[in-house]
């Protein structure tokens, strides 16, 4: 019979007895190094706590009290403002936090671990900017806990695959790979060893060069799994590894050869006959997926949905096993877009689309389409306020994606009280993306609805028609605008006829020509059709229901997006884009912007974006943000750029070599660059394919467009130096854009 031992005060360590009388104070003193616990004179706080706790499960009252006190201590630590933690001593602050998290892991404090899992995004958002180094890395400690104790219903595979990708690309230190492999190793409810673990190992090894030290590193990690953690027969390992060695993305890499040699496999297919069909999920061929995408574009969703969802499920299973998300993201985006073309959208389809959008953000946080789909489906669900915050945050994360700005401006413009703010967003978008037809047409259409601004709208439509002779949206929109005025109906008729000469199947022009002809003939009994909206897959956001009543309460996960979105919106309202507005409107919006920042800081005193926005717009910040958030790349880059600190800029290159182009940009903008910098930046801009890292993609897209390198495959250093001298102010603005982008990078969803 099992008997739980209830320890008496006499058998407890004296520190434990003190703790039971005053839990919070006693624990805080220990973690803060303000007390010495004999006989552990020289122990670290987490070592001492583990030693005095003894067999903690044998004392449930103490275990539960410690669990509650530890979570309360961590919650209080999370609420400390940036100023207070710098004044306290940032190294000391982080060191104590790391010790507490280590104690949680070692003592397996279940209640605290459950909260860390439940509020994963909250804790990661807080921990990531506090990384000081391997010994003072609260994010690594937090993820280590989550790797060992994963909820059975939410294993969050994407987290471990993304950690591998980030560490592999140099955006995180190498030791994060071990944390990610630990997470894949401990997936709940999986076979032992999990197939996902082997694919994680392969995913990391795919980019390793054929060098002796890299081979040794791979073998150390592989032999840990093979010989220590999961000792299995050679035949078993060959059966488990064979699917990986047949995968096209891995089969020809040096690591695949090392693996075959270690297992005595002559070729990738030597054990294929032993592979069970169910051992690995089948990924539909790309040609098959492309045919499904064509069907989604051409046929009603109801006819295609069953087959599309079946294929999507196969892609999801493959993605979860391997971390290869591209096929799933393409199909999910296509299904979501097809669903949003439906009018109305059935509730079940709307819920499915929202689920797909959030899966896309989970698995592809750097994929802008998932974010825009998330915002669009929220709009169609009647959650306009939440959608706006998501889109503001998406605008910060993807400043070079015009579609997100257009969706956001269209949503805001649907509220009559905010038309001027929407106009400011469109004007900024047109200035930044002069070739974006959607923004031009949408801005002109917005002007049409404002008294006395028809001439401006006509001028914008005509400019778009001149620049894009086959953009029939602008032609038709102008035709319908001119049709409203008796003395301009002949002009409208000519426009519709011109469209039909170029495209005789244009239904909008046919309808316009019919109505304007009847009006000219004097038969005006028919009402004028509604003003046609610029047709685009991105423009279903003008739907009338955007400001319908809000749906149910917002979860804590989405509230993170709301706070970050509030910061992004405040940043816009405090910036120069609102200079086109009248003083009264501008002042009102800026007052509300500061109120939003204050509200965010009242909830999260150490919110890096809120503090950064204040700093960028003239509010005094009592501490150096790069010290308070030592792990926030953007804040360190901004500080080094402002002070033209060559040493700190060089340190950033050493810390994250993959982001060297951002440092090159900062040097160029600060007029402290060298010839070598220009050569390196020219090489970066000569690559036509956009980088996968969002801030690198931002500067790559902006500079190639701004400097007209879009069709070039060879950019010359002299061109870089010459253009930089002309566009120095724009380069400085671009630096602050990527600093905003990288001030907080943790994914919002868990």
* Model confidence pLDDT, tens digit, residues 1-11: 333 344 556 67
For 452-593, list the strands marked E by DSSP: none
Q: What is the mean pLDDT of residues 358-382?
A: 93
Q: What is the mean pLDDT of residues 405-426?
A: 96
pLDDT of 622 reads: 85
Residue 538: band (very low, low, confident or very high) from pLDDT cuts 50, 70, 90: very low
Residue 547: band (very low, low, confident or very high) from pLDDT cuts 50, 70, 90: very low
Q: What is the mean pLDDT of residues 149-156?
A: 82
Res 18 pLDDT > 50: yes
Answer whether 534's CB lies under 8 Å from 481's CB. Answer: no
Distance between CA atoms of residues 135 and 173, nearest Å: 12
- Count other C-beta atoms under 10 Å from residue 333's C-beta: 21
Distance between CA atoms of residues 540 and 379, nearest Å: 9
Distance between CA atoms of residues 441 and 138, nearest Å: 48
Distance between CA atoms of residues 112 and 105, nearest Å: 10
pLDDT of 553 reads: 32
Distance between CA atoms of residues 734 and 685, nearest Å: 15
> Residue 630: helix, strand or coil by DSSP?
coil
Distance between CA atoms of residues 274 and 238, nearest Å: 9
pLDDT of 7 reads: 53
Q: What is the mean pLDDT of residues 504-524?
A: 87
> Residue 12: helix, strand or coil by DSSP?
coil
Report the share of the chain in percent with pLDDT over 70: 91
What's the gap between Cα 174 and its chain centre? 21
pLDDT of 559 reads: 56
Distance between CA atoms of residues 278 and 3, nearest Å: 44
What rounded mean pLDDT belongs to the chain?
A: 88
Answer whether 82's CB lies under 8 Å from 611's CB. Answer: yes
Min mean pLDDT across 269-278, 363-372, 580-589, 592-601 is at: 269-278
- Count other C-beta atoms under 10 Å from residue 508's C-beta: 19
Report DSSP state, residue 51.
H
Answer whether 608's CB lies under 8 Å from 636's CB. Answer: no
Report the share of the chain in percent with pLDDT over 90: 71
**Angle CA(390)–CA(541)–CA(583) in degrees, nearest 5?**
70
Distance between CA atoms of residues 125 and 744, nearest Å: 8
Res 524 pLDDT > 60: no
Residue 523: band (very low, low, confident or very high) from pLDDT cuts 50, 70, 90: low
Helix locations, 277-382, DSSP H: 286-298, 301-322, 326-340, 347-363, 368-380
Peptide bond into 658 cis (omega under 30): no
Please classify residue 391 by burial: count the beta carbons closer than 10 Å to its beta carbon, then call 0-12 exposed, 13-18 middle and 19+ buried: buried
Tokens 């890499």, residue located: 253
Please classify residue 485 by burial: count the beta carbons closer than 10 Å to its beta carbon, then call 0-12 exposed, 13-18 middle and 19+ buried: exposed
Distance between CA atoms of residues 435 and 31, nearest Å: 58
Q: Tokens standing for 325? A: 């998300």
What's the gap between Cα 44 and its chain centre? 37
Res 718 pLDDT > 60: yes
Residue 121: band (very low, low, confident or very high) from pLDDT cuts 50, 70, 90: confident
447 to each of 267, 426, 435, 465, 550, how far by Cα in Å? 67, 11, 19, 17, 28
Residue 75: band (very low, low, confident or very high) from pLDDT cuts 50, 70, 90: very high
Distance between CA atoms of residues 208 and 250, nearest Å: 11
| Bridge partners, 133 (sequence order) | 136
Answer whether 305's CB lies under 8 Å from 322's CB. Answer: no
End-to-end CA distance of the chain: 41
Higher per-residue pLDDT: 562 or 663:
663
Higher per-residue pLDDT: 555 or 43:
43
Distance between CA atoms of residues 95 and 102, nearest Å: 11
Long-range CB contact pairs, 394-398, < 8 A, 24+: 394/368, 395/568, 395/572, 396/564, 396/567, 396/568, 396/571, 396/609, 396/740, 396/741, 397/368, 397/371, 397/694, 397/741, 398/368, 398/371, 398/694, 398/698
Res 541 pLDDT > 90: no
Residue 555: band (very low, low, confident or very high) from pLDDT cuts 50, 70, 90: very low
Q: What is the mean pLDDT of residues 612-621?
A: 94
* Model confidence pLDDT, tens digit, residues 310-344: 999 999 998 988 888 999 999 999 999 999 988 78
Answer whether 169's CB lies under 8 Å from 658's CB. Answer: yes
Q: Tokens standing for 363? A: 């698995």
Min mean pLDDT across 245-249, 307-311, 677-681 is at: 245-249
Q: Which residues contact 7 (CB under 8 A, 6 or more apart)?
A: 58, 59, 62
Q: Which pTM value belongs to this model?
A: 0.89
> Residue 152: helix, strand or coil by DSSP?
coil
Res 57 pLDDT > 80: no
Res 689 pLDDT > 50: yes
pLDDT of 41 reads: 81
| Bridge partners, 136 (sequence order) | 133
Residue 271: band (very low, low, confident or very high) from pLDDT cuts 50, 70, 90: very low
Answer whether 438's CB lies under 8 Å from 536's CB. Answer: yes
* Model confidence pLDDT, tens digit, residues 565-608: 999 999 999 999 999 999 999 999 999 999 999 999 999 999 99
Cα dihedral 545, 546, 548, 552 sign: positive
Tokens 């501008």, residue located: 586
Distance between CA atoms of residues 688 and 579, nearest Å: 35
Q: Which residues contact 625 (CB under 8 A, 6 or more apart)?
A: 82, 608, 611, 612, 615, 632, 635, 638, 639
Residue 680: band (very low, low, confident or very high) from pLDDT cuts 50, 70, 90: very high
Computed on alpha carbons and rounded to an integer, the radius of gyration of the chain in Å comes to 29
Q: Which residues contact 145 (CB under 8 A, 6 or more apart)?
A: 101, 104, 105, 113, 116
Residue 533: band (very low, low, confident or very high) from pLDDT cuts 50, 70, 90: very low
Q: What is the mean pLDDT of residues 445-471?
A: 93
Residue 534: band (very low, low, confident or very high) from pLDDT cuts 50, 70, 90: very low
Long-range CB contact pairs, 654-658, < 8 A, 24+: 656/170, 656/171, 657/170, 658/169, 658/170, 658/171, 658/693, 658/696
Distance between CA atoms of residues 603 and 50, nearest Å: 33
pLDDT of 3 reads: 34
Answer whether 70's CB lies under 8 Å from 78's CB. Answer: no
Q: Tokens standing for 102? A: 């280590």
pLDDT of 310 reads: 94
Res 692 pLDDT > 60: yes
Distance between CA atoms of residues 455 and 435, nearest Å: 21
Q: What is the mean pLDDT of residues 181-187?
A: 94
Q: Which residues contact 465 (CB under 8 A, 6 or more apart)?
A: 471, 474, 475, 478
């Amino acid at each position: 019979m099992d008997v739980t031992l209830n320890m008496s005060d006499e058998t407890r360590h004296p520190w434990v007895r003190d703790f039971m009388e005053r839990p919070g104070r006693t624990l805080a003193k220990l973690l803060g190094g303000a007390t010495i616990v004999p006989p552990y004179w020289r122990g670290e706080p987490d070592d001492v706590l583990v030693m005095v706790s003894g067999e903690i499960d044998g004392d449930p009252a103490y275990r539960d009290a410690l669990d509650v006190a530890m979570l309360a201590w961590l919650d209080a630590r999370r609420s400390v403002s940036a100023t207070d933690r710098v004044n306290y001593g940032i190294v000391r602050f982080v060191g104590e936090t790391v010790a507490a998290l280590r104690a949680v892991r070692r003592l397996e404090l279940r209640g605290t671990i459950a909260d860390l899992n439940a509020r994963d995004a909250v804790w990661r958002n807080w921990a990531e900017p506090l990384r000081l180094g391997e010994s003072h890395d609260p994010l690594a400690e937090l993820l280590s806990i989550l790797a060992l104790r994963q909820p059975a219903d939410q294993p969050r595979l994407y987290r471990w695959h993304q950690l591998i990708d980030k560490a592999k690309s140099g955006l995180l230190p190498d030791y994060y790979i071990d944390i990610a492999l630990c997470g894949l190793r401990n997936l709940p409810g999986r076979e032992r060893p999990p197939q996902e673990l082997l694919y994680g190992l392969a995913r990391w090894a795919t980019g390793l060069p054929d060098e002796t030290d890299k081979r040794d590193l791979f073998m150390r990690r592989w032999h840990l799994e093979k010989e220590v953690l999961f000792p299995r027969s050679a035949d078993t390992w060959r059966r488990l590894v064979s699917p990986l060695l047949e995968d096209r993305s891995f089969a020809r890499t040096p690591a695949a050869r090392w693996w075959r040699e270690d297992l005595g496999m002559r070729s990738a297919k030597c054990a294929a006959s032993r592979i069970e069909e169910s051992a690995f999920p089948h990924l539909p061929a790309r040609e098959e997926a492309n045919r499904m995408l064509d069907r989604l574009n051409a046929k009603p969703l109801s006819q295609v949905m069953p087959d599309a969802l079946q294929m999507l499920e196969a892609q999801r299973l493959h993605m979860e096993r391997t971390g290869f998300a591209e096929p799933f993201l393409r199909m999910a985006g296509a299904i979501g877009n097809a669903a949003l073309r439906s009018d109305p959208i059935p509730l079940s389809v709307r819920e499915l689309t929202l689920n797909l959008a959030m899966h896309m953000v989970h698995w592809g946080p750097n994929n802008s389409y998932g974010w825009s789909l998330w915002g669009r489906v929220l709009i169609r669900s009647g959650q306009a306020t939440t959608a706006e915050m998501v889109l503001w945050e998406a605008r910060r994360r993807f400043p070079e994606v015009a579609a997100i700005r257009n969706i956001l401006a269209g949503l805001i413009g649907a509220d009559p009280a905010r038309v001027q703010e929407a106009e400011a967003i469109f004007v900024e978008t047109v200035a930044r993306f002069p070739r974006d037809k959607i923004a031009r047409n949408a801005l002109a259409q917005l002007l049409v609805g404002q008294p006395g601004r028809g001439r401006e709208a006509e001028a914008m439509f005509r400019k778009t028609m001149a620049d894009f002779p086959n953009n029939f949206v602008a032609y038709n929109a102008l035709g319908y605008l001119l049709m409203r005025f008796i003395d301009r109906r002949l002009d409208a008729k000519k426009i519709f006829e011109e469209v039909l000469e170029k495209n005789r199947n244009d239904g909008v022009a046919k309808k316009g020509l019919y109505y304007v002809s009847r009006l000219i003939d004097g038969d005006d009994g028919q009402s004028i059709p509604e003003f046609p909206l610029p047709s685009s897959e991105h423009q279903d956001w003008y739907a009338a229901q955007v400001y319908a009543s809000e749906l149910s309460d917002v979860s804590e996960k989405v509230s993170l997006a709301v706070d970050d979105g509030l910061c992004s919106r405040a940043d816009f309202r405090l910036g120069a884009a609102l200079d086109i507005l009248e003083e009264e409107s501008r002042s009102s919006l800026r007052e509300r912007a500061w109120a939003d920042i204050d509200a965010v800081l009242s909830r999260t005193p150490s919110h890096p974006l809120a503090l950064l926005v204040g700093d960028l717009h003239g509010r005094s910040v009592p501490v150096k943000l790069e010290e308070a958030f030592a792990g926030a790349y953007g804040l360190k880059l901004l500080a080094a750029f402002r002070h033209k600190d060559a040493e700190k800029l060089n340190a950033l290159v050493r810390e994250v070599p993959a982001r060297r182009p951002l440092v090159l940009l900062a040097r160029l903008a600060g007029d402290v660059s060298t010839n070598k910098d220009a050569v390196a930046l020219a090489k970066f801009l000569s690559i036509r394919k956009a980088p996968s890292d969002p801030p690198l993609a931002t500067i790559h897209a902006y500079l190639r467009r701004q400097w007209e390198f879009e069709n070039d495959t060879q950019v010359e250093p002299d061109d870089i130096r010459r253009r930089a001298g002309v566009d120095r102010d724009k380069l400085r603005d671009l630096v602050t854009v990527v600093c905003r982008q990288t001030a907080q990078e943790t994914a919002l969803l868990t």
